[in-house]
């Protein structure tokens, strides 16, 4: 289950720190990041974009469609926004939920001999001092390993799509709204059962060992708006675990429907940007919005 890189690239804005099945295009679309027009029954409108949270230092993905749609919008809506106060809450959450109590056995005691060797090898590959993750919970160690591996491939949080969009709206003096708290994404991982957290850690080992072979394919599919390829990559049955999918995608999608409907009730037009993985597979966000009565159309 190599979901780690996909979680980081497509799900988590806190470290700035795809509904394809229900929206099949009737004709070929212009290559480019996928955009959808949302229209409420009362006439409220918004543009929805699937994002990648960590990107290389290259904003050519922001083509004229994205620039025009963001310029026309009155407000940007993100999954969450990390500001001073939420940054402190994230740090507090990580200290509480991301680390093992001093009186409890460390991470190495939860791992097999092979797992411990793979962890040591991963730390050495990433130039992280031995023992650094001994007091981390498995989910937090997995996240840190994968984040480091992704960044080693040249992907940076401050170059992510959300950072680019937020800067554009803030410079224009336009407001930025959110769909959930800054800690909600991490909470979804921290509350996973221990066996799934350990599977995530083993997936992180694979990511480090593979030298990030999935990253280029994922990035290319997103850049070109190839929803079929993006879906295949995200929903690969050898890399996909239903319980993780439910916790980090489906449950959060369900929680976002009401705030999105609330935004659509206003006369202003929003530009909504969330991780592209939320528009893929069973329980995807587009499917949920359609069931709630929102008209969704893929933009050319």
pLDDT tens, position by position, 218-265: 888 899 998 888 888 887 765 667 788 888 899 999 999 999 999 999
Question: Burial of 202 by CB count in 10 Å (0-12 exposed, 13-18 middle, 19+ buried)?
Answer: buried
Task: Please choose, from the candidates 47, 54, 43, 74, the residue with its C-alpha nearest in 3D space to the C-alpha of residue 11.
Answer: 54
Beta-strand (E) ranges in the chain? Answer: 35-39, 45-51, 75-78, 176-178, 270-275, 295-298
Cβ-contact 81, 183 below 8 angstroms:
no
Residue at token pair 């407001």: 175
Q: Residues near 16 by Cβ (< 8 Å), separated by ≥ 6?
A: 53, 82, 157, 158, 160, 162, 163
How many of the other CB atoms lie within 10 Å of CB of 222? 27
- Count CA atoms closer than 13 A to 116's CA, side-chain side: 10
pLDDT value of position 159:
74
Predicted TM-score (pTM) of this structure: 0.85
Task: Give per-residue pLDDT as tens, 31-52.
Answer: 799 999 999 988 899 999 999 8
Of 15-19, 147-151, 189-193, minimum mean pLDDT range: 15-19
Domain count, the chain: 1
Task: Give per-residue pLDDT as tens, 116-129.
Answer: 999 999 999 999 99
Q: Residues near 161 by Cβ (< 8 Å), separated by ≥ 6?
A: 33, 49, 51, 52, 53, 55, 61, 62, 273
Q: Residues near 77 by Cβ (< 8 Å), separated by ≥ 6?
A: 46, 176, 177, 178, 179, 260, 263, 270, 271, 272, 273
Mean pLDDT of the 194-198 span: 93
> What tokens appear for 96 in the block?
């509480």
Mean pLDDT of the 54-66 span: 90
Residues above pLDDT 90, as percent of the chain: 54
Q: Which domain holds residue 19?
A: 4-298
Buried/exposed 96-114: b ≥16 CB within 10 Å, e otherwise: ebbbbeeeeeebeebbeee
Mean pLDDT of the 191-219 span: 85
Q: Give the containing element (helix H, strand E) for 147.
A: helix 138-152
SS3 18: coil
Q: Give the containing element (helix H, strand E) for 160.
A: none
Task: Please choose, from the candidates 124, 125, 121, 145, the residue with its C-alpha nearest in 3D space to the C-alpha of residue 133.
Answer: 145
């Amino acid at each position: 289950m190599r979901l780690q890189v996909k979680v980081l690239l497509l799900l988590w804005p806190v470290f700035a720190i795809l509904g394809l099945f229900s929206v099949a295009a009737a004709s070929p679309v212009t290559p480019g990041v996928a955009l959808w027009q949302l229209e409420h029954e009362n006439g409220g409108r918004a543009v929805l974009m699937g994002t990648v949270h960590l990107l290389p230092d290259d904003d050519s993905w922001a083509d004229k469609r994205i620039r025009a749609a963001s310029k026309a919008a009155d407000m940007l809506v993100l999954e969450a926004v990390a500001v001073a106060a939420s940054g402190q809450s994230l740090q507090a959450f990580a200290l509480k939920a991301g680390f093992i109590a001093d009186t409890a056995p460390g991470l190495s005691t939860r791992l097999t001999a092979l797992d411990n060797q793979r962890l040591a090898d991963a730390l050495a590959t990433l130039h992280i001092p031995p023992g650094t993750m001994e007091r981390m919970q498995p989910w937090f160690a997995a996240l840190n390993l994968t984040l480091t591996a992704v960044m080693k491939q040249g992907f940076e949080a401050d170059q992510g799509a959300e950072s680019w969009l937020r800067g554009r709206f803030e410079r224009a003096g336009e407001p930025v709204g959110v769909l959930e708290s800054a800690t909600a994404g991490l909470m979804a991982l921290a509350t996973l059962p221990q066996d799934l957290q350990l599977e995530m850690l083993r997936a992180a080992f694979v990511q480090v060992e593979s030298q990030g072979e999935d990253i280029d394919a994922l990035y290319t599919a997103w850049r070109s708006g190839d929803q079929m390829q993006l879906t295949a990559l995200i929903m690969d049955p050898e890399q996909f675990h239903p319980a993780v999918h439910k916790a980090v995608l489906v449950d959060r999608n369900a929680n976002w429907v009401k705030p999105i409907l609330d935004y659509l009730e206003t006369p202003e037009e929003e530009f909504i940007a969330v991780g592209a993985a939320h528009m893929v597979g069973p329980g995807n966000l587009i499917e949920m919005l359609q069931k709630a009565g929102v008209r969704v159309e893929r933009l050319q």
